[in-house]
Amino acid sequence: MPTFDRSTVEERATVVVIKGELDIGSADALRSALDAAAAEGTAVVRLEAAGVHFLDSSALGVILAAGQRLAERGSRLELANATPAVRRILEMTLITRTVHVIP
C-alpha cells in the first residue's frame, strides 16, 4: 500500500528588479547583475521584468546563459511579469524551455 506524506518546502529566491531597455549596450551590465544574483547561491533567481520595455537577442543571450548556469547547479531562473515586448521575443525564440516564465 503506498503512503503519501505531505510537507511544505520553502525556497529562497534572489530577486532582481530590472527597469529600462535591454540591448547590446546594456548586456554587460545585465550579465554582471545576473552573476551577482547567482553568487547569492539561492535556489531561485527571479527577474522582475515589469519595468523592461525592450529586450533584444543580445540581452536574451545573457539571460539564456545565466539560466543554463543556474540549471547546471540545480537552481533555476525565473522571469516574472514580462511585458508584451519581452514576451514577444521569448515566444519567438522558445527560450521558455530554459527560463521559467511567471505570468
Partner 1 sequence: MSDSDRLSVTLPSAPGNLPLVRHAIRGFLDASDVADPPAGEVLLAVTEACANVVQHAYLGDPEPGAIELEAELSGNQLVISVRDHGHGFAPRLDSPGAGLGLPVIASLTDRLEIRPTPGSGTEIMMAFALNEAA
80 near partner 1, judged by CB under 8 A: no
69 near partner 1, judged by CB under 8 A: no
Query: How many CB atoms within 10 Å of residue 50?
Result: 13
88 near partner 1, judged by CB under 8 A: yes
Strand partners of residue 57: none
64 near partner 1, judged by CB under 8 A: yes
27 near partner 1, judged by CB under 8 A: yes
Residue 25 to residue 28: CA distance in whole angstroms: 7
All 3 cell numbers of residue 82?
514580462
CA atoms within 13 A on the CB side of 27: 14
What kind and span of H or E run contains 99? none
Instruction: Kindly tell me which residue out of 58, 80, 81, 100 binds partner 1, with binding defined by CB under 8 A.
Output: 58
Instruction: Kindly tell me which residue out of 33, 44, 80, 89 binds partner 1, with binding defined by CB under 8 A.
Output: 89
- The residue ranges that bind partner 1 (CB under 8 A) are 21, 23-25, 27, 54, 56-58, 60-61, 64, 84-85, 88-89, 92-93
